[in-house]
Structure 1
C-alpha cells in the first residue's frame, strides 16, 4: 500500500513543478521533499518526473498518478465540506455557477441578504455560459437555463423565463411605439448575437426577428450588455422577463411577442445532499424567487 504522506508530497511537487516551491508549501526542506519522491519512485519501480534545469515535468507514469491524486483531493475536499457542514453554522466556500445574465441581473444584487444571514459564507460566483461539471466538483451548485442532463445530481425547477422586447419610455416617445413586427424596421434592435452561447428559445426569437427588415442592430454576447444598451436609450432589446422587477421603468414592446418558456433549474451533486451551505443557498434562492414572482404579479401591466 502506498504511503499517504508520500502521495501528498508527490501531488504538491507535481502541482508546483518544483521541489523548492512544493517544499515552501509543505514547510519541508528541498532535500526532504526530494527524498520522499525518490522513495515513492522506488516503491513503484518507475520514474515519475523528468528532471530539467527549469523544473520538473511529469512522465507518463507520473501523469497517471497525478490524475489519481487530483481525484483523491477532490473527494477529500467533498468529505471535509460535509464534515464541516455537520455543525449548525453555515460557513466556508460555496462555488456557484450560472449564466452571465442571470448571475449579474438577478442573483448578484440579492446576495447581500444571504450574507446578512450567513456572514461567514465565502461565495465564489462563476458566471459563464459553459456548463460546469458538478459531479467532478468544478462547482458546488448551479443555476441553469435547462434541465441538467448529468447523472448523480439533485435538481429542482425554480421558475420559467421568457424572452420579450423592452424599451425605455423616453426612447418610445422619441421614436414611436411599434404596432407590429414590420414596424421594428424603424428601430434599432438590441439582442444577443445568434452565434453566441444562449438558450435555444432566445436564439429562435432573435432569428425570427432578424427575418424582418431591421437596418440597425446592436448585438452583445450576454443579457447584461443588452440591458445596459436599452437603459441608455439605444433601442428595443430582447431581454428575459425577470429584469422587469428590478427595472420597472422598462416598457414591454409588442406584448403578444415572446419566446417559448425557458425552465430554470437549481442543481447540485448527490454527495452534497446534506451540505448546510447548499441547503442555505437553495432555500435563499427559492425564497427570493417566490418574492420576485409576487412582485412581478403585483406590477401594473404595461
Structure 2
C-alpha cells in the first residue's frame, strides 16, 4: 500500500471528514477524496461508510486505522531517538498556544530560552483553537484547560486571573463605576463569538451587564474577537474591559476597578504527547516553562 495514501487515510479517519483532513494536510477536499477512493480500490475494500453527517470507519477501516496509528507512533519515537543522539537539544519544536498566553506571557520570555538552547528552532502557532497533538499539528501546547486524552502528558504551570480595568482618561470622562449595576451606563468591551471555547465565562463582564439590566442604561457592549483587540480598545479610552492580570500588569495606564467583583480564573497547562516523553527538545522547553512559571506570580 502507498504510504502517502495511508497517511491521508489516517488524517481522514481522525478528522471524520474529507474537508477537515484536507485543512490539516493543506490539500483540497477533492484531492483527499480521490486518494481515499484510490486506496479503497487498491485493496478492494471499503474503508468508510459515507453519510450526511460525515464519515465512519468500517470494520476493515478500524483495523487499518489501528495499524497505521501504530506505525506513526513508532516513526515518531524513532524520529525523537535520532534527534536525541546529540547532547544539547536541537532541531525544530512547534509550540501552540492561545493568542493571549503566547503573545503576552510566552514571547517576552523567549530570549532566556534562546540563550539556553541556541540550536533549538522554535515555531510558534498562536491560535485560539486547539491543534491536534496526536496528529502532530504541534509538538507541545500551552492550554487554558487540562486535556482529557489519555495519551497526553500535562503539567500545570500557573493560574490566570481576570479582573476589570479601564484607563484614567476613560474614567475621567465616563465616571468610575462603584458597583456592578453601574456598568449599564458604561461601554463594556467584550470578547467576540470566536473567543477560546475552553475558557469558560470569558465574557463574564458582559453577562454581568445583561443580568443588571443593560436595556435601562445608556451604555453599550463592543465585541472584539481576541485579547489584543480588547486591550487596544481599552488603551484607546473606549471603555471597561475584563482582561488577565498578567496582561494588565504590562500597561501602567490601566487601572483596576470594581475589585470586589470576582472574575474567572483558569489553570494553564503544558501539554504534549506521551510519545515525546524522552524528547530533549520537549524536556528543555518544559523545564524552561516550569522555571519561568515558578518565578512569576499574578
TM-score by length of 1: 0.72
Give the total of aligned pairs: 249
Deviation at 1:282, TM superposition (A): 1.2
1:251-297 Cα shifts (integer Å, max 9, x gaps): 1111111323311111112221121111111121122223331xx5x
The aligned counterpart of 1:11 is 3
Residue from 272, 275, 281 that aligns with 2:285 = 281
SS of residue in 2 equivalent to 1:211: helix
Deviation at 1:145, TM superposition (A): 0.8
Pairing 1:108–2:100 present: no
Runs of at least 4 residues of structure 1 off by over 3 A? 10-16, 61-75, 194-198, 203-206
Contact 1:201 1:260 in 2 (8 A): yes
Deviation at 1:137, TM superposition (A): 2.5
TM-score by length of 2: 0.72
Deviation at 1:158, TM superposition (A): 1.1
Deviation at 1:151, TM superposition (A): 0.5
The aligned counterpart of 1:200 is 200
The aligned counterpart of 1:126 is 125
Show structure 1 runs of 5+ residues with no match.
Answer: 1-6, 17-54, 297-302
Residue from 267, 271, 275 that aligns with 1:263 = 267
The aligned counterpart of 1:254 is 258
Over 3 Å counting, the alpha-carbon distance change for 1:225 and 1:78 in structure 2 is: farther
Give the root-mean-square deviation of aligned CA atoms: 2.9
Over 3 Å counting, the alpha-carbon distance change for 1:182 and 1:275 in structure 2 is: same
Show structure 2 runs of 5+ residues with no match.
Answer: 9-33, 48-60
The aligned counterpart of 1:90 is 89
Q: Decide which structure has the larger Cα Rg and report it.
A: 1
Contact 1:164 1:241 in 2 (8 A): yes
1:196-238 Cα shifts (integer Å, max 9, x gaps): 4341132444322332316322111221221121122211111
The aligned counterpart of 1:72 is 71
> For residues 72 and 164 of structure 1, what CA distance do their matches in structure 2 show?
48
> For residues 289 and 242 of structure 2, what CA distance do their matches in structure 1 show?
25
SS of residue in 2 equivalent to 1:286: helix
Residue from 202, 216, 235 that aligns with 1:231 = 235
